[in-house]
Amino acid sequence: MAEDRFGDLGPVEPRPEPGPDRSERSSAAQRLAELDERDEREAREARPAGPPPRPRGRYMWVVGVAFVIVLIVAGLNALRHNGGALRGPEVGTKLPEFAAPLATGQLTGDANVKQRRGQSNQLGAEPACQVHLEGSINSCQLASKPLVLAMIVPGVSRCERQLDVFQQMLRRHPGVQFAAVVSGAKLPKAASMVRSHGWTFPVAVDRDLSVFNLYRVAVCPTTVFAHRGGVVQSTSIEPLSERQIDARLPSIGAS
């Protein structure tokens, strides 16, 4: 049976006049208000305490690191069980088109991976290779020369070292376009990486991993070698030395 909250106010005695005087009405109202406060307090105490607030910045950083680790492990497992299916674009096909902000520019936003009119996109209103916004780069521009393109995620030392190797090779191979896509990082993070390493080749920012997925990447670094015009000649899912890259350059029409 529900609690008779009004019973706590005591019995009502007969009055010689039609109703209670003002002081008694005030006292009853006060006691009723006290009962309301007591009920609210007991309800609050009965509810289980929620988890303590988490520091958002640190939590998101931990989630990001965990994501990178899971991504690499998942990629290695996929390669082991699927015969190397996730090795980058298929050899003999044209590079999937993308346009993305440059780490050295001021343009922000997700990459455009629109291959044709009618598809959804992020950066620009046209298909990817028709995007020519200041502070952006597209894959067709990169493929105007024989192309060596590395796909990496931030925070993995062997991936960043691969781009250091690119930087060391630039002067010896002016006819080759070295470039990189940094996936899973926002512009400030990618810009900081470029400055700290002194990379002077184009570095595109793929903050939502749309280019990463478009290029079927599962291991960092994944490096794509393409002929002028963008036809894929080979891919690698291992860090490559200068000597190893030099050996592959003739096959894409470079020396």
DSSP-based three-state secondary structure for 73: helix
pLDDT digits (tens, 9 = 90+) for 147-160: 999 999 999 999 99
Q: Count up the domains in the chain and report the number.
A: 1
Domain containing 75 equals: 56-252
Q: Crossing angle of helices 187-197/157-169, nearest 10°?
A: 50
Nearest residue to 181 (alpha-carbon basis) of 159, 150, 226, 135? 150
- Any domain includes 175: yes
Cβ–Cβ < 8 Å for 150, 166 = yes
Q: What is the mean pLDDT of residues 225-239?
A: 97
- Any domain includes 153: yes
Q: What is the mean pLDDT of residues 96-101?
A: 97
- Any domain includes 137: yes
Structure tokens at 138: 């597209």
- Any domain includes 60: yes
pLDDT digits (tens, 9 = 90+) for 168-196: 999 999 999 999 999 999 999 999 999 99
- Any domain includes 24: no
- The confidence score (pLDDT) of residue 16 equals 47
- Any domain includes 204: yes
- Any domain includes 13: no
Domain harbouring 61, CATH code: 3.40.30.10
- The confidence score (pLDDT) of residue 86 equals 78
- Any domain includes 9: no
pLDDT digits (tens, 9 = 90+) for 37-88: 666 666 566 555 544 444 454 444 444 444 444 454 444 444 443 435 678 9
Beta strand residue intervals within 22-176, DSSP E? 99-101, 136-138, 147-152
